[in-house]
A and B are shown apart, each in its own frame.
Chain A
Amino acid sequence: MSVGIRAENIHWKIQGRTILFDLHAEFHAGSTTAVVGPNGSGKSTFLRILAGTLSPSQGVVRYRGIQPDHDISLLATQTSLNLEAPLLVRDLIQMAFYRRGGVWNRPPPSDLDTFEKLIEELHLKPFILQPISTLSSGQRQKALLARLILENPQVILLDEPFNALDTGATQFLLNQIHRWQREGKIVVVVSHQMELVLQNFSQTLFLSPRYVAQGPTRFVLGNAPKELLQSYQGIERNH
């Protein structure tokens, strides 16, 4: 095991309520993990803790072969993105170059080629010179996704990325996740769409107050209490 993340003994309390209690989890290079569980079980919080933007109340996240400041990209549902800001879609996506190269470096031509290809594939080309305030939530999600792909991070954390995406974009993202997996990256995705989880993710982390498990997707979901899965129709059909 050369590259990986291990969360040990993670607790998260907010205003007296315990959301995460003594959580252990491991993520290896070349693995794709889905994080599932009912609302309020701390999935988004856990992603932030993994990304290092949030310190747990207790416990520690250990990184091997990864610089958390540098190599981790998080696509959160609630971002600090200020849509009123005077910025073009192109400049929003190209913020990725700044992340990788700093303020002073100009992006290499290969990055610009990747950028052109990405906006083509995501059908963002016509909107590229519009202010970000004119984007729909789906287009915004695509733009943020493009930015994240351009960053070319070692660890990819996605919080409900499929929610606003249409079928084409969903397929694009799934392909991208598989590509990341082949490239030996760590992918962790929060999702409520069980069918997608079952078909595309080898590993699953189940978070709920009573049942916490990590392992192969079919195994984890198969052992989950029935009442927890009732809301997920996809699972019922597969069992």
Chain B
Amino acid sequence: MEYLEHLTGIFWNIFADPFVSFGFMRKALVGSFAVAVGCAPLGLLMIYRRMSLLGDALSHAILPGIALGFFFFAGSPIAMMVGGLATALIVAALSQSVSLHGKHSHESAFSVFYLFSLALGILLITLRGTPLDLLHILFGNIITLSSLSLILVIGTSLATLSIGLLGAQTWIILTVDPEYLKNRSIWAFAAMALMIFNMVSAFQAMGTLLAIGILLIPAATAHFWSHRLSILFIVTIGLGMLASYLGLLLSFHWNWPAGPTIILILGGMFFLSFLLGSEKGIITPFRKEEAAHSSPHPILTYFWGVLMASCLLSPFALPSQSFGAPPRLKIACTTPVGCDLLKAMAPQASQRIEIHTMVGPQGNNHHFEPRPETLKLLKSIDFIVTNGLQYETWLEPLLKNNRLKIQIKEMSQGIQALADSNHLPDPHAWHNPLNGIRYAENIKNILIEKAPTFRENIESQFKIIQQALLDLDQEQLNLFKEPPYLQSHIVLPHPFLRYFADRYGLTSQIQSMTQNSHFGELPAKELKNLVVEFKKKTPLYLFSEYPEIEAPILVLSRELKKPVAGALYSEALIPEKECAQEVSCYIATLKRNRDLLKKVISSSRIPPNSN
């Protein structure tokens, strides 16, 4: 009996508890269920009309519209939706007229529209260098679904489902024998319009690729199992829901990104059905006999089979183990620097203070997609230490959408912000050691406020850090006023040394390939200007950065025939094992950067009369 209870408990913890205890999981489940249910008729229509490529085309067609909405209406969600709706309708109308006129060319026409819109979207986004992330639009993040988006998705799905069911006979004829239908172009366009509404409502919620995946793959999978529309309909809905549920579960227990996991599970189901499907599968054991048409359909049996198999596999997805007694103070930090300073100042007190890193020491904060793990963590946290200066743009919507009220402490409080070319604050303030002292001071004050019993420890640690940073600053002041540094030109991939240059009077010496921190592809003209500009400058040193890939700087390096001198640490810190002896990895990283600059510049020969 006890064993049974224990077993029930395990099953409950694995399969139900994530959705009972966590609001974000419930929302994600409801959202993906809504798409699965509402889009089943549309999905079947698209699959059997052989128009799945059109779905792809439409999902990308909304991209330029969203970008335009972003530019002209300062990123208001409504404007982006209207923009997306408008461009998708244009593409739908164009492809409709093409498919009505040319019999064999519509597949290729859809591919053309799809690539064209994607390229136009990327062009628009890159030109303005906005922080609008392309990958986010395509794949989104269903676990950060906001209530507004959820309502929108449910509304669209209900509307689609009811239109689908009410006009069922018409949709069937449109699929089976379009020429038999009066006003068939109107109906065909109505189908596309529904598709567009679904894509647009889904883009903010879960990204268009995930939405089109839930829309198309279950329908494509179902047709291996039946030829009866009613059964196909139920199987399509069931597969979509099952994959969403399993995907979210895996994402929760294994900390995988939810969207791609759901798509991968759907893909797995498709291939399994391709092999074993009772209707058209290529391996026979499950295939029913021809005479069995009148007997009850065995589809449900297979359905349960799949469910059981997934249950059998699921014990591998054991929830992460629980800790002993709950600690007194739980702090989350969003930047490598913040986490490092926190750890450095609370070493004695660490048994009573738990520090949770949201972006690892090698991570980059400009692009960050929260995972279930992040949200689970945030639910139990006392406060978050952030960099501020608009570095963590993802944090506020994340907290808001999940109704989390957590205190945010900005380390950069009190720092005079430098602005980038878009008049936004440059977040990389820690590269100036004096700002580092301010960071440390802010953290010290927070720690003392929250854990007053450790006041002495914290203050003495702070003094050590303060002294180390003051020493470093003095050293660098002396070092960088030397002629080789004042006569050199340093080029970075993105401007992360603005505060550093400002402190040491190297503003005209240190330049970057782009002027704002978010950059996509470098336009050819800009690259040409850079090449022309830097050709004149000598001596010139090119640096790449950790942990980014150095592609842009390598292009410049090839053009100027100058090797890349080395990699500086921009967002990340040096690996922990390399700074175990130091007071703080942050300070060690600043020193590492300084040593690299020193080594490269002082060791090279200064040409005579260079100015």
Interface residues of A (CB under 8 A from B): 53, 69, 76, 79-82, 84-88, 91-92, 95, 98-99, 103, 129-133
Contacts and interface: CB of A to CB of B under 8 A. Distances in A.
Given A79-B177, A129-B293, A91 B172 contact: yes
B229 A87 contact: yes
Contacts of A87: 172, 176, 227, 229
Contacts of A82: 48-50, 175-177
13 contacts: A69-B182, A80-B177, A80-B179, A82-B48, A84-B50, A86-B44, A86-B229, A86-B232, A87-B227, A98-B170, A103-B169, A129-B293, A132-B176
Interface of B: 44, 48-50, 166-167, 169-170, 172-173, 175-180, 182, 223, 226-229, 232, 293-294
Contacts of A103: 166-167, 169-170
A84 B49 CA distance: 9
Contact of B48 (A81, A85, A95): A85
Given A129-B293, A131-B227, A85 B167 contact: no
Nearest to B166: A103
A81 B170 CA distance: 14
Contacts, number: 59
A85 B180 contact: no
B293 A95 contact: no
A130 B178 contact: no
Given A103-B170, A129-B293, A129-B294, A86 B226 contact: yes
A129 to B, nearest CB: 6
Contacts of A92: 176-177
A86 B167 contact: no
A133 B176 CA distance: 11
B289 to A, nearest CB: 14
A85 B180 CA distance: 14
Nearest to A129: B293
Given A76-B179, A87-B172, 13 more contacts: A69-B182, A79-B179, A80-B180, A82-B49, A82-B176, A85-B176, A86-B223, A86-B227, A88-B227, A88-B228, A95-B173, A95-B176, A95-B180
Nearest to A97: B169
Nearest to A76: B179
The 8 closest A-B pairs by CB, nearest first: A131-B227, A80-B179, A85-B176, A86-B227, A81-B177, A80-B178, A85-B48, A86-B229
Contacts of A88: 227-228
Contacts of B223: 86
Nearest to A69: B182
Nearest to A80: B179
A41 to B, nearest CB: 22
B173 A98 contact: yes
Nearest to A88: B228
A95 B177 contact: yes
A217 to B, nearest CB: 30
A90 to B, nearest CB: 11
A131 B293 CA distance: 10
Given A88-B228, A103-B167, A130-B293, A53 B173 contact: no
A86 B180 contact: no
B169 A98 contact: yes
Contacts of B49: 82
A75 to B, nearest CB: 11
B191 to A, nearest CB: 14
Contacts of B293: 129-130
B103 to A, nearest CB: 10
Contacts of A81: 176-177
Nearest to A53: B179
A69 B180 CA distance: 11
A87 B228 CA distance: 6
A103 B165 CA distance: 11
A155 to B, nearest CB: 15
A131 B279 CA distance: 11
A84 B180 CA distance: 16
B178 A84 contact: no
A79 B178 CA distance: 9
A131 B175 CA distance: 14
A168 to B, nearest CB: 25
A85 B175 contact: yes
Nearest to B44: A86
A13 B169 CA distance: 36
A125 B228 CA distance: 18
B46 to A, nearest CB: 12
A174 B532 CA distance: 85
A63 B520 CA distance: 63
Instruction: From A53, A80, A85, A130, name the one whose CB has the most chain B CB atoms within 10 angstroms.
Output: A85
A79 to B, nearest CB: 7
A86 B182 contact: no
A91 B169 CA distance: 10
A65 B44 CA distance: 40
A87 B229 CA distance: 7
Contacts of A133: 227
A79 B166 CA distance: 26
A160 to B, nearest CB: 17
Nearest to B232: A86
B177 to A, nearest CB: 5
Nearest to A144: B177
Contacts of A85: 48, 172, 175-176
Contacts of A53: 179
A130 B226 CA distance: 12
B246 to A, nearest CB: 26
Instruction: From B166, B180, B226, name the one whose CB has the most chain A CB atoms within 10 angstroms.
Output: B180
A80 B185 CA distance: 14
A107 to B, nearest CB: 12
Instruction: From A76, A79, A80, A88, name the one whose CB has the most chain B CB atoms within 10 angstroms.
Output: A80
B48 A86 contact: yes
Given A95-B180, A99-B180, A129-B294, A86 B228 contact: yes
Nearest to B230: A86
Nearest to A94: B169
B168 to A, nearest CB: 8
A86 B172 CA distance: 9
Contacts of B227: 86-88, 131, 133
B5 to A, nearest CB: 46
Contacts of B178: 80
A75 B62 CA distance: 40
A100 to B, nearest CB: 12
A103 B170 CA distance: 7
A82 B170 CA distance: 15
Nearest to A133: B227
B205 to A, nearest CB: 30
A83 to B, nearest CB: 9
A216 B100 CA distance: 39
A99 B169 CA distance: 10
B287 to A, nearest CB: 14
A132 B176 CA distance: 10
A132 B228 CA distance: 11
Contacts of B167: 103
A48 B82 CA distance: 41
A103 B229 CA distance: 17
A163 to B, nearest CB: 19
Contacts of B232: 86
A95 B178 CA distance: 12
A79 B176 CA distance: 10
Contacts of A130: 293
A76 B178 CA distance: 13
Nearest to A103: B169
A181 B179 CA distance: 26
A98 B176 CA distance: 13
A228 B166 CA distance: 54
